[in-house]
Structure 1
Amino acid sequence: MRKLLFLISLISCNANAHSQTPRQIKAFSADERYIVMLDVSNLNDYAQSYEVLVENRVLGTYTLKPGEDKKIRINVDVPRRGEWNHKIVSTRSVLQNGEMTRTEIETRVSVFGLEVDDQ
């Protein structure tokens, strides 16, 4: 049991840490695209690179210094009118030298596509 606790403490010391807010967005849009704004922070004591994903598709990568915060702007499609459109937007750490774990945080984005009369 002592060996197991020691092993767990070693693994948790090497874990990546970052934060992302908000965790859920509900909005209405008359446009075909909705702009999602996320606040992401590097909580590690070293620089860390992160991927930005929409529905598991990588859109780009950025690097944050220790303790640095960044606002990320992501365009998501709103293809359906008169109903809710759901997307999962996430950031995840990029594995660096010798790392075996990564963090990933998801934000659920629900956008109701408003029907607009073209007159």
Structure 2
Amino acid sequence: MANKQNPEAAMISTLATRYSDDVLSQMIIAAKSARGTKGLATQLQAGQMSLWKSSGKSADDVFGLLGLKNAGGKLFDNPEFATWIKYVDDLSEGNSKKASLMMTSTLATQ
């Protein structure tokens, strides 16, 4: 599965076969807080989001994958929430109205 053109994509694909989406996302968030791994973690997060997008994951799907449905009253304090917001922004391709609609739709059903 080595990919010299895009090693981060190969790495995220390998990690995704070993870890659930929420665990992998938690690992990436932790790595982003360390100075020595922040750059790689940012690239891995982009790879994870690209994988979700290419597999057709909706905003609601990713909300569930990240374990946010179980966050309760601590949703906005959960670091996974920022990951979800970033995914929705990427999914909406920068269209803030579309992103707002996706977020509102997902949050209204929780």
With the length of structure 1 as denominator, give the TM-score of the two structures.
Answer: 0.22
Higher relative contact order (CA 8 A, sep 6+): 1
More strand by share: 1
More helix by share: 2
The structure with more radius of gyration: 1
